[in-house]
Structures are given as structure tokens and as C-alpha cells.
Structure 1
């Protein structure tokens, strides 16, 4: 386990991605160059001018708080254990992301693409594919989350196309990965860090994310920390108004032969109040084959990882976390 000393004041890059959303090739290349530097050095960065309406973001946080304010009976009525595709409510201390540490001090709610139970993908047993569960006590919850899911997925596609350019590939290179892409929207609620916490207990233990890229919204409580491998310390990633935190996951690190970094991070809610955050995990087409990109191999270098499908990678990552 890493040193738990207070994080330093080092900062993460802040990238304006408006150029990726326009038609000017030079503007897209300029953003791609910033993405490349951030992904190689940090694996974490902020983005602004992302195109998602702040009013929708506010609605997501409000709906999330209303859900977590429900009584336990209402929340357990949509328990993730009732879903064959990992959708719904997950109670406090149900997940342990940091090996050897106490379970994470957080509760959550999982949303994915709405796929009917009789869809061929569900009948074929595709991982984490199927219908969502929705809380009956909150009729406005489903439309807000589905609207945000669509917006975040579109933003994820924009970021992935920018990453293609950053890797000296055509913007369309990952189109097969983006087609019918799976993704998970997760609502998170963190109680304040206990005054008498167990050794190593924290809101979210140190970990790297499983998939391609993560788009994170966080409220004003703070608490997200990112491991700085060069300085050998934790750095704060505080909320920046109007910006998302974005990070590279294990799948994209694997794809780039670790040229792009999947970085350890954790959450310790020392704010003294409730903390809410909303990560969107962009996973990709489950049947897409992932093998080392040609632009990520130096002369004489060999791939560090065998080829794998997105689905095979995700299954193995879930097995490690949930046993």
C-alpha cells in the first residue's frame, strides 16, 4: 500500500477539446498533441468544452442524491444481485478495489445500455449486457440517466477518436471498437471518512480502471487522488467547474503497449460531508479484438500482451475485483 501522507499540490493537465468537435483538421491535431502528452505522462487529465449541458449534469447529481436518500428497502428492491448483467444498486462495502485493504466505503448504482432480455446479444450471453433495473419510487430517475448515458457515450466516442489522432492513426481507426460500444454509468455515494477508520479504510481503494477511458463528474467535496509515479506521491484531482476528469483504463494501456498509462487512483472523503461522483466507463464493442497498435511498437520491440477481445479483458478484470 502506498504512503498515506497528504497529497501534494501538483496538478493535472486541463485540455480544451473544442477542436475535436469542429471541422478544422489543424485544431483536431492540436488537441490530439495535448492528449498524447497527457496520456503518456499522467494517464489523467481534465477536459473542458465537452459539449454536455450543465443543466443535464445538475439533473444527474440531483437524481443520484435522491436515489441514495431512499430507504434501504427501496434500494435493495433493485439490488445488483437481482440482475444477471450487473445493473442496479450495490451497498456499502460490497467491493474491495485495493487488495489487502478493507472493503470500499461507498455505495453505488449501475446503469448500462438498455438491451431487452430477448435481444440476441443477451441470449448469446454477452458480458454485462441486458436490461437495467430502475427504482420504482423515482419516476424521473430513468429518463435523466438515459439522457446522460447517451450524452456521455457520444463524448466518449469523441475522446476515443481524438486518441486515435494522438497515436498517429486516422480518426476512424477505432470505429469498429466504437460500433455497438458497451459502457457503464455508475452513480457513487461516499459517506464522510470515519474519524476512527480501520487501517487502510477509504472511500475507494487504490486501483486502475478496467476499460478504455473513464469520464468522471465529481461534486465539490473533492477526495480523488492520483498516484504520481515520478514524484512517488498522491496528488489531488479536485473538481474543476465545467470540466470532466478523464483517465485511461487498462484496456487502452494494453492496446498501446503501455505507452499510454493506466494510473492508480483512490478516493478519501475527508470533506466531512457526503460525496457524490459519476464515472462513465467507456468499454467498447465486446467482440472487438485488441492487440498492440503498430504505432506503439518501436523497432525491435515486441507486444507485451497477447491479443484479447474487449469482453475477455472485462471478464478477467471483474473476476479479480469481485472474486
Structure 2
């Protein structure tokens, strides 16, 4: 894939497709397959699409935004009390400039908070040292932060399981093909706060630099402020992905692309908050069972061809990706 330069690129007039999940949840076999085919078209193109009729209540989404805004407005000492450097599972607060997603550029203009499935310190997966498995760090304030996030996390896991059935259909596989992958999944919920892009920011400094996601499936909840852009490799332009009420932006990551032998696309995207306001977004990363084997899926390899990648596991793939990004062994 051709990489965009750090220079500004013209904007594409292309838009991302919007797919209803109604028939995936309650339609007959042919209706569910039609949803799978729509997902396939999107994944063969950019690997990005929007979903509606997803079943997540707008009231719960707003509660997540409210709690995130309250947390990020806390004094720095309060946020640092749950710094993710204190966690064995990469959970907690990441300060402004704590990540550089695009190599060779200044640190990203965002702060974040990471959480995932709650596993006690004596859980077998934690004792075994599986990647990103462990307890969350919970801030003392706001007081409703934990119950809201735990409810949202549970519902997002259910929605991701539904989408994995759609992805199976998109690949002409049985609907339950990914059920073992969905057992005891590794998940990450990130709360992100993007301050307005400073007028004196470096030309190549952004809210989130151009990057692809590491794993399986990403579901992004956006507030009312634009900023997300997706790279269109066909015309070498950026596609704006503004917030559309009632939708999530969905994309596949590097691991799922690898799983399909790069048939499906894991595509560069970035965030530039030019709204003049604080921007909040909530990406949810669904990565599957850490022990699940990832090797070329049926139907993704031409006759006589060899897979592009050796087999791996979810756990091993994530350790490799985090090691490249943070410059140390995981």
C-alpha cells in the first residue's frame, strides 16, 4: 500500500458505506447473507464502514461521554493516580503526548484512558502472564465511572460477537466460524480526549497520527466533532468520516487482514481536530481469545499460492505490535 506523505493530501469525495444490522440480528438466512456481502464489499475496499441499528442505547452512549468528560477534567494529580504505567495490563490513564502513532512525527495531541474485561490478579490468565489481562484501574471520581463503563463494555462485547458472525458470512464461512475466537476475548475500551488543534502546531502534528489498528475489529463512537480521516489508497486521498448520529465507524485491523491473507484491508487513518472545540471519541477494540490461532482462513488463498504470513496467536500478534509501537519487549 502506498503511504501518504506528511504533506497535506487532497480530500476524497468518497464516503464510507452505512450497513444496517437489523437483518443480521433477526433476518432469515438470505437476509443475513446479504449483510455479510455488504460487509465483504467494504472490507475488500478500505476495511471501513459504518453500522446502524446496532442496539446500543443512545442514553448509554451519552453516559459514557459524560463520564469521560468529567474524568479528563479532573486535576492532573487525580488522573496520574491511575496512570497506566502502574498497571500490569496496560489499563489506566495515558497523558497528553503519551503516544506517537505515526513514526517520525511529534507526539499525538490526545490523552486517553484504557480499560478492558475485569480479571482479578489471581485469575489463571493473569497468572499465566497473558497479554493485557488483569484488573482495571478505576478512578475515585467521577463516582459513576465504573458502572457506566462496565455496562458499556458488556454491550460492546455482545455487538462485536454479532459483527463477527457477519464477518464469517462475508467470507462464505459458517456463521459460527469465529465462536471459539469470541470465547473469553481480549478487549480494550479507550476513552480519548482531543484538545483543539493548536494554531501553532507543527505541520505534521495531529490528534492521532496516521496508523492502522493492531487487531481484529474496532468500533468507534464519535461525538459531534469531525476529525477522523481514512486513507483511500485507490485515489491517494483522505476520506473524511464525520460523525453520523446513530452509527458506529467499524474497521478491521492488521490481525484480521493477516488472517485473510490481506484479502481484507487494514487501512491507515488519522485524527485532526480542527473543530475549535474539545473532541471526545470512544474506540472499542475487540481482539478475541489470546490463545486463538491465526492462520490463513479458508477461501483466502488462491490455488497453488502460499500464505503471506506464518501462523501466530492473538497474544503473540499483540506482543509484536505493541513492541514495535512502544519500543520495548512485551
The alignment's TM-score, normalised by the length of structure 2, stands at 0.96
What is aligned with 1:75?
79
Q: Does 1:97 align with 2:101?
A: yes
2:184 touches 2:289 (CA, 8 Å); kept in 1?
Answer: yes
Deviation at 1:23, TM superposition (A): 4.6
- For 2:155 and 2:230, how far apart are their aligned partners in 1? 26
- For 2:260 and 2:14, how far apart are their aligned partners in 1? 26
Q: Does 1:88 align with 2:102?
A: no
2:7 touches 2:204 (CA, 8 Å); kept in 1?
Answer: no
- List structure 1 runs of 4+ shifted beyond 3 angstroms: none
Alignment of 1:245-284 (within 5 A): 245-284=249-288
**What SS does structure 2 have at the residue aligned with 1:276?**
strand
1:7 touches 1:225 (CA, 8 Å); kept in 2?
Answer: no
What is aligned with 1:115?
119
- For 1:202 and 1:6, how far apart are their aligned partners in 2? 17
Q: 2:133 aligns with which of 114, 122, 129?
A: 129
What is aligned with 1:106?
110
What is aligned with 1:290?
294
**What SS does structure 1 have at the residue aligned with 2:275?**
coil
Root-mean-square deviation (Å): 0.9
Alignment of 1:229-248 (within 5 A): 229-248=233-252
**What SS does structure 1 have at the residue aligned with 2:180?**
helix
Cα-to-partner distance string for 1:212-263 (whole Å, 9 max, x where unaligned)? 0100000111100000000101110000100000001001000000010000
Cα-to-partner distance string for 1:63-117 (whole Å, 9 max, x where unaligned)? 1101101110110010001101100000011111101011111000001100000
**What SS does structure 2 have at the residue aligned with 1:295?**
coil
- For 2:143 and 2:245, how far apart are their aligned partners in 1? 29
The alignment's TM-score, normalised by the length of structure 1, stands at 0.99
Deviation at 1:294, TM superposition (A): 1.7
Alignment of 1:137-176 (within 5 A): 137-176=141-180
Deviation at 1:199, TM superposition (A): 3.0
- For 2:194 and 2:27, how far apart are their aligned partners in 1? 41
Cα-to-partner distance string for 1:137-171 (whole Å, 9 max, x where unaligned)? 22200000000000111111110111001101001
Q: Does 1:310 align with 2:319?
A: no
**What SS does structure 1 have at the residue aligned with 2:181?**
helix
1:3 touches 1:233 (CA, 8 Å); kept in 2?
Answer: no
2:227 touches 2:242 (CA, 8 Å); kept in 1?
Answer: yes
Deviation at 1:6, TM superposition (A): 4.8
Q: 1:38 aligns with which of 35, 42, 54?
A: 42
- Give 5+ residue unaligned stretches, structure 1: none
1:284 touches 1:310 (CA, 8 Å); kept in 2?
Answer: yes
Deviation at 1:42, TM superposition (A): 1.4
Cα-to-partner distance string for 1:10-40 (whole Å, 9 max, x where unaligned)? 2001111111111511110010010000000
**What SS does structure 2 have at the residue aligned with 1:283?**
strand
Q: Does 1:202 align with 2:206?
A: yes
- Give 5+ residue unaligned stretches, structure 2: none
Number of equivalences: 323
